[in-house]
Amino acid sequence: MTTHPTLADLARRVSADRNHPAFGHDALITCDRLVRVFTADGVEVQALQGLDLLVREGELMALVGASGSGKSTLMNILAGLDTPTAGAARVAGRDLLTMTAKDRLAYRREVVGFVWQQTARNLLPYLTSAQNVALPMRLRGGRGRAARRASAERALELLDLLEVADCRDRRPHEMSGGQQQRVAIAVALANEPSVLLADEPTGELDSHTAEQIFAAFRTANERLGTTIVIVTHDQAVASEVRRTVAIRDGRTSTEVLRRSEVDEATGHETLVAREYAMLDRAGRLQLPAEYTQALGMRDRVALELEPDHIAVRPDDSDHG
């Protein structure tokens, strides 16, 4: 006879897990209860309200969420441009809360690369594409002629990889928005960062061009192994990555994972999506509004522990 664990057994297991020190120990990006409060004119805005996020090395993932939900705040923190008010954030072994100013500068130059929505923010207007891409390598070090030649060579390789080699001698205003963003990706990849961050990189582009930009990110991820986090409003982009995390009110709320399934009869491959809710370490869970509204759930729900799942039912008490 098999016996199901008792609630006491489960509780013991849970408390053992919670004492485990290794939240995100094997992740490249770890955000643990991240908080960012802005104060403007004496008014406090809680842009991040205890956000948890783990990103594994080699992932290509998307962050989505309504305007004002805290996406850019998170990206600025991960980029080393802003510091969180509380919580923990680690990227590639760096603690983003305790870094010195000097560490922060090295972090921005060597550990992360970023691509912003405004094409004009990504490139220096008076430099050609090849010069823009070589610049971060030259700033990092190497003044000699050999170093200069190596930077120039790698710049051309990157432009070639992103299919904008023909733009090598053009300045930003001589290129389309899509070409500029691909050059911007090459600039961001110049110093072989562990993480590439992109905040709405296709926001100013039409859907066909946006697709090409997304293909460029995919190339970088597959060919160079770079871990990539893309904030996007574009549902087409979001549905092409294996993992999409939704941010709501400064917290990660739900997550969609897609895996490819091959139809045995036709050999056709399709991506099958499944939605998950995030369970934080205190056990808090956010149910999607579509689900709770469909069953008229509010204020209080009934929970039942079953052998392999937890049932959540509408409040059926008389006090409801």
Ligand X SMILES: Nc1ncnc2c1ncn2[C@@H]1O[C@H](COP(=O)(O)OP(=O)(O)O)[C@@H](O)[C@H]1O
Candidate list 5, 58, 68, 225; residue touching ligand X; CB under 6 A: 68
Task: Put the strands of the sheet holding 112-115 in their side by side order.
Answer: 112-115, 195-199, 227-231, 60-64, 243-248, 251-262, 269-277
Contact window for Mg ion (CB under 5 A) among 68-76, 92-100, 232-240, 269-277: 68-76
Contact segment (CB under 6 A) with ligand X among 38-46, 131-139, 202-210, 312-320 equals 38-46
**CB 199, min distance to Mg ion, A:** 6
The label of the residue with tokens 């990206």 reads 75
Q: In this structure, what DSSP letter does residue 279 have?
A: B
159 and 183 Cβ atoms separated by less than 8 Å: yes
C-beta of 52 vs 200, nearer to Mg ion: 200
Q: Measured from the CB atom, is 8 or 43 closer to ligand X?
A: 43
User: Pick from ligand X, Mg ion, none: which does 226 bind, CB < 5 to 8 A by kind?
Assistant: none
Options 21-29, 47-55, 66-74, 250-258: segment touching Mg ion (CB under 5 A): 66-74
Applying the rule CB under 6 A, the residues between 40 and 59 that interact with ligand X are 40, 45, 47
276 binds ligand X (CB under 6 A): no
Least Å from the CB of residue 37 to Mg ion: 17
Choosing from 50, 52, 61, 70, the residue that interacts with ligand X (CB under 6 A) is: 70
Angle, CA of 304, 308 and 310, to the nearest 5°: 25
* H-type alpha helices, the chain: 7-19, 71-78, 101-106, 119-122, 129-140, 145-161, 177-189, 207-224, 235-238, 289-294
33 vs 71 by CB, closer to ligand X: 71
Q: Is 252 in the site for ligand X (CB under 6 A)?
A: no
Q: Does 72 bind Mg ion (CB under 5 A)?
A: yes
Closer to ligand X at the Cβ: 19 or 67? 67
The pattern of x and - marking residues 73 through 112 that bind ligand X according to CB under 6 A reads x---------------------------------------
Residue 117 sits in the site that holds Mg ion (CB under 5 A): no
Residue listed under structure tokens 């897990």: 17
CB 286 within 8 A of CB 318: no
Is position 71 an interface residue for ligand X (rule: CB under 6 A)?
A: yes
Per CB under 6 A, does 38 bind ligand X?
A: yes
Dihedral sign computed on CA atoms, order 71, 77, 78, 81: positive
End-to-end CA distance of the chain: 39
If residue 57 lies in a helix (H) or strand (E), which one and from where to where?
Answer: none
Show the 3-state SS of 64-123. ECCCCCCHHHHHHHHCCCCCCCEEEEEECCEECCCCCHHHHHHHHHHHEEEECCCHHHHC
Contact residues: ligand X, CB under 6 A? 38, 40, 45, 47, 65, 67-73
Contact residues: Mg ion, CB under 5 A? 71-72
